[in-house]
Structure 1
Amino acid sequence: MVKKKRRWYEITSPRVFGNKVIGETISDDPKKVVGRTITVNAKELTGDYKKSHISIKLTINELKDNQAITSVQGYSVSRSYLQRFIHKGMTSVDIIHELTTKDDKKVRVRCMATINGKIQTTKKKLIRERFKKKLEQVMGNMSLDNIVFIATTNKIQKRLSNQLKKTHPLRFVEIRSIKLLKQKT
């Protein structure tokens, strides 16, 4: 039995990240390449070393010639980066919210807000409710690729922080992860 010759395929980033070549993969059958997932550090996509704490999960959707075109599947921030912002005497509020993007993809967004001092549980609930409303307003009219791109630039976090300061002064706001949920068929 003769083995098929394996070929190398260049993996390119999504359009919002500039269609850059970010790696290579090998396969004997082009059909086996489609569906593979890779995790890439955001500093490789943006060129900014300050984004090394962010990981972006990409999936190969299609092949054109020898190029594997990817789309965004998820976004996550390293735990060690988040732990730097939590200290004794502070309150951390975790927010988990599911929403539908402009391109009809269901995503789960996990956020974290830190507050100086201890606050009451009712105040935490109020912050969570307002946070979810603001997330819906900000992210509901964007595609998943754009949400992840803007989250890597910290524009969403700054916008949420400024809008939620009226409820209670927040020290730090970060999107911990954005995960694409599987669609029911």
Structure 2
Amino acid sequence: MAKARRRRVRDTWKEKQWYKIVTPKEFGDIEIGSTPSRDPDMLLKRTVEATMRELAGDFSKQYVKLAFQVNNVAGDTANTKFIGHKVTTDYVRSMIRRGTSRIDTITNVTTKDGQTFKVHILAITIKRAKSSQQKFIRETMEKLIQDAAVDRSFPDFIEGVVSGKVASHIYHEAKKIYPLKRVEIIKTRVVE
């Protein structure tokens, strides 16, 4: 019986080139990784995550993850745009205790320059709150995040959300309704 002839397998790995992935200018054009690709067009729409510690060197913001998407390639550099952020689930779970109330609100906001975001805000009370108080806190959080977005441009809004300034402002206003332990913007997503 004759042996079948083996076809030579083409090694596509050698055809690939490495591209460095860079954050948008609002985040300081920092290199957040590198990726191989045969064709620069194949890099488009790839998403990359980075923590705030990697970008700013701030260890206290280790739990904040930012998501970027490659939108154009220039030479061996893949430029990205910001598409959202989220807080790690273990951080959220560490804040919630028995006998407290978790108040979530998800709303769409539009910034001064017309960029729309879906924003998820979490408030945790010190003790269990009545449903009427929870409803009033939820409405207050929605109103405050809408106001914060209308007053700011896209980069300013992102900076305020990621740094925690917007959440701090919401906390100081909403705690007048019922004592709060923490307010955190746990997720944002750019709506296109």
Common topology (TM > 0.5): yes
Amino acid of the structure 2 residue aligned with 1:81: Y
Provide the identity percentage.
27
Superposition misfits of 4+ residues, deviation over 4 angstroms: 1-4
How many residues are treated as equivalent by the alignment?
182
Cα shift at 1:145: 4.0
Q: TM-score, normalised by structure 2?
A: 0.86
2:128 is the counterpart of 1:118: yes
Per-residue deviation, residues 93-123 of structure 1 (Å, max 9, x unmatched) = 1111111223423221111111111211111
Q: Provide the residue aligned with 1:99 in structure 2.
A: 109
Match of 1:13 in 2: 23
Q: Secondary structure at the match of 1:129?
A: helix
Q: Give the secondary-structure state (helix, strand or coil) at the position aligned to 1:90.
A: coil
More moved, 134-143 vs 119-128: 134-143
Quick check: 59-68 or 146-155, which moved more?
A: 146-155
Scaled by the length of structure 1, the TM-score of the pair is 0.89
Q: CA deviation at 1:148?
A: 3.0
CA displacement, residues 133-169 of structure 1 (integer Å, 9 cap, x when unaligned): 1000112333444333322221111111112222222
2:118 match: 108
Q: Are the equivalent residues in 1 in contact too, given 2:50–2:67 (CA < 8 A)?
A: yes
Q: Which secondary structure state, in structure 2, belongs to the residue aligned with residue 68 of structure 1? A: strand
Q: Is the 8 A contact 1:13 1:45 kept in 2?
A: no
Map 1:71-150 to 2 at 5 A. Answer: 71-150=81-160
SS at match of 2:15: coil
Distance, in Å, in 1 between the alignment partners of 2:90 and 2:154 is 25
Q: Does 2:149 match 1:153?
A: no
Query: Is there any run of 5+ residues in structure 2 with no aligned partner, and where?
Result: 1-9
- What 5-or-longer segments of structure 1 have no aligned partner? none
